[in-house]
A = this chain, B = another copy of it.
Amino acid sequence: MKVAMAQQNYHIGNFDANFEKICQGIKAAKEQGADIVVFGELAVCGYPPRDFLEFRDFIQRSEQVIEQLKAVSEGIAIVVGAPTINPVIEGKDLFNSAYFIADGEVVHIAHKALLPTYDIFDEYRYFEPASEFKVLEYKGKRIALTVCEDIWNIGNENPLYTICPMDEMVAQEPDFMLNLSASPFDYKHAVDRIDVLRANVERYGIPIFYVNNVGAQTEVIFDGGSIVMNDAGMVVDELPYFEEMVRTYELAPLMGSAGVVAKDHEQPKEKMDLIYRALLLGIRDYFGKLGFTKAILGLSGGVDSALTLVLAAHALGAENVRAVMMPTEFSSDHSVSDSVKLVENLGCLSDIIPIQNTFQSFRDMLSKQFEGTAFNVTEENMQARVRATCLMALSNKFGYILLNTSNKSEAAVGYGTLYGDMCGGLSVIGDLYKMEVYALCDYINRDAEIIPKHILTKAPSAELRPNQKDSDSLPEYAQLDEVLFQYIENRKGPKEIIEMGFDKALVDRTLRLVNMSEYKRYQTPPMLRVSSKAFGMGRRMPIVGKYLL
């Protein structure tokens, strides 16, 4: 028996395009001689469909695609994810299901039992958990078919669920496991994934085909990395990250492989390389799926906008990216000269638009109201908002998407201007702490100096008043980032962080800044998620709370 894994990039709600893509996968699998072709979780409608699932019309369109797939299932079995309607009136109206379609019929449907409802996931919002688990038989082989999370409640000290679907199925003596996933990227996730697959293989003693979606869905990036693991727990193949791929495998060699000398065939997993490729895919899919081709951004001379510009140019082509320098009286000479050098290195479009007159025009307009007040953060924010208005005007006039250039450290502590530098359709590096921004710049410069060295060595500054430095208002980033990581990613409280050896004043100040900035983050653009805990859908905080404040 031959099994094809089809790792594909779907478009949420675009049923025609998804059907077309699945058909291409079927064609490729047939050409490779596959008996079964396996697609990802909710492939038919795209993942995550969110509240579109509440529309009966949306579900009906999905069901129509299943009908269309029945018609193309001659000569190959199609395993594909789609929602199904729960026939029982009690409970949620839908299941998150894997269809097994062969010879024009749906021969089996497996419903998902473990419904991830944490971080970016909301599955119990829509789906009833499965309570029955049945192995299916096809061409003499017994198959344990599961959806994503159903194989994840294993091998961790604090399991999230009280059951383990494969424990129920193993008594039915399956020959192998098929798992349909939509498991999003973070820079550590590919390692966790192999650990979990190996824990399953070791517990159940059979091989697994794990098929993951690829492609970015707004902020969430699916990395692919689909895996075939033999019954000895070796990675026989791991499909490339961030690419579509259909590849077929013989089942027989995966079984009885204990003692067979083999080596793991894993993809490299270097953090900055993964993040770089994830962000390129994130940008490309955001633009492509919305039907845009061109990006604009403000280039300040600092490291954040420089990195964002490089990523945009690499993702979209330098000819599709326009960088705008908008100096004021507070801008250093090098803010423009460093930027110009970067623009030349990349070959993208650029403008220099001094905003001093318009900034002054606002000050004149408000001179009566502001009489007797000193220049302060108000005028600093005003400059950022003049820049945003300028960028949005170019965006509106010429059809660019404005890219936001804020980093995670800034977003965390609220060091940014709402409706100013916090604007944009997409935040490219909003899930990278400042020190990670530097590390990614070093990665980009590994072979040649794309980002001028001076951008990487000068002290960070917003340049919104004379001689301003970030360090006037914020702790040093090397320290700040570590405290933020403990609070954001690890959900450690103040006492726990202080016990790790961090200064109490630093910790209290940092956590307070994070919690008092929720109102700002509520209105920020979606941020491409590359860590296990990004701001946005995956981190939901009250605005009017008073905790650590």
User: A residues bordering B, Cβ < 8 Å?
Assistant: 11-14, 17, 46, 48-52, 54-58, 60, 88-93, 115, 117-118, 122, 124-125, 157-162, 216-218, 285-286, 289-290, 351, 353-355, 357-358, 361-362, 364-366, 369-370, 373, 376-379, 381-382, 385-386, 388-390, 392-394, 396-397, 418-419, 423, 425, 491-496, 519, 522-526, 537, 539-549
Are B419 and A397 closer than 8 Å at their CB atoms? Answer: no
Contacts of A91 in B (CB 8 A): 159-162
User: Nearest Cβ distance between residue A53 and chain B, in whole angstroms?
Assistant: 10
Q: Give the complex CA separation of A49 and B546 in angstroms.
A: 10
Contacts of A289 in B (CB 8 A): 544-546
Contacts of A362 in B (CB 8 A): 358, 389-390, 393
Contacts of A353 in B (CB 8 A): 365-366, 369
Closest 9 CB pairs of A and B: A57-B493, A13-B547, A12-B545, A289-B544, A361-B361, A14-B546, A378-B396, A13-B545, A385-B389
- Tell which of B51, B115, B423, B525 touches A522, judged by Cβ atoms closer than 8 Å: B525
**Known pairs A162-B91, A547-B14; A394 contacts B381 (CB<8 A):** no
Q: Binding site of A, secondary structure by majority: helix, strand, loop or mixed?
A: loop
Contacts of A55 in B (CB 8 A): 491-493
A selection of 24 A-B contacts at a CB cut-off of 8 Å is A11-B544, A12-B545, A50-B541, A55-B491, A56-B491, A57-B495, A60-B493, A91-B159, A117-B125, A118-B125, A122-B122, A122-B540, A218-B542, A355-B365, A362-B389, A365-B390, A366-B394, A369-B394, A378-B397, A382-B393, A385-B392, A392-B418, A419-B423, A522-B526
- Tell which of B50, B492, B549 touches A542, judged by Cβ atoms closer than 8 Å: B50
Contacts of A60 in B (CB 8 A): 493
- Tell which of B160, B365, B376, B377 touches A357, judged by Cβ atoms closer than 8 Å: B365
Are B494 and A57 closer than 8 Å at their CB atoms? Answer: yes
Closest residue of chain B to A13, judged by CB? Answer: B547
Are B388 and A366 closer than 8 Å at their CB atoms? Answer: no
Are A52 and B545 closer than 8 Å at their CB atoms? Answer: yes
Are B526 and A543 closer than 8 Å at their CB atoms? Answer: yes
User: Nearest Cβ distance between residue A163 and chain B, in whole angstroms?
Assistant: 8
- Tell which of B354, B361, B378 touches A393, judged by Cβ atoms closer than 8 Å: B378
Q: Give the complex CA separation of A354 and B389 in angstroms.
A: 18
Contacts of A57 in B (CB 8 A): 493-496
Q: How many copies does the complex hold?
A: 2
Contacts of A547 in B (CB 8 A): 12-14, 52, 58
Q: Give the complex CA separation of A29 and B24 in angstroms.
A: 70
Contacts of A17 in B (CB 8 A): 546
Contacts of A373 in B (CB 8 A): 397
Q: Give the complex CA separation of A91 and B158 in angstroms.
A: 8
User: Which residue of A51, A54, A159, A379 has the most chain B CB atoms within 10 A of its CB atom?
Assistant: A51
**Known pairs A373-B397, A525-B523; A543 contacts B218 (CB<8 A):** yes
Q: Give the complex CA separation of A34 and B319 in angstroms.
A: 75
User: Nearest Cβ distance between residue A312 and chain B, in whole angstroms?
Assistant: 17
User: Nearest Cβ distance between residue A217 and chain B, in whole angstroms?
Assistant: 6
Contacts of A122 in B (CB 8 A): 117, 122, 125, 540
User: Which residue of A13, A49, A93, A419 has the most chain B CB atoms within 10 A of its CB atom?
Assistant: A419
Q: Give the complex CA separation of A12 and B540 in angstroms.
A: 13
Are A419 and B494 closer than 8 Å at their CB atoms? Answer: no
Q: Give the complex CA separation of A386 and B93 in angstroms.
A: 47
Contacts of A526 in B (CB 8 A): 522, 543
Q: Give the complex CA separation of A88 and B547 in angstroms.
A: 28
Contacts of A389 in B (CB 8 A): 362, 382, 385-386, 389, 419
Add 5 more A-B contacts to A14-B547, A357-B364, A385-B388 (CB < 8 A): A51-B539, A52-B545, A93-B158, A218-B544, A366-B394
User: Nearest Cβ distance between residue A328 and chain B, in whole angstroms?
Assistant: 12
Are B89 and A542 closer than 8 Å at their CB atoms? Answer: no
Are B161 and A90 closer than 8 Å at their CB atoms? Answer: yes
Q: Give the complex CA separation of A260 and B290 in angstroms.
A: 65
Contacts of A285 in B (CB 8 A): 544
- Tell which of B354, B392, B546 touches A11, judged by Cβ atoms closer than 8 Å: B546
Q: Give the complex CA separation of A217 and B542 in angstroms.
A: 8
User: Which residue of A160, A357, A544 has the most chain B CB atoms within 10 A of its CB atom?
Assistant: A544
Closest residue of chain B to A355, judged by CB? Answer: B365
User: Nearest Cβ distance between residue A287 and chain B, in whole angstroms?
Assistant: 9
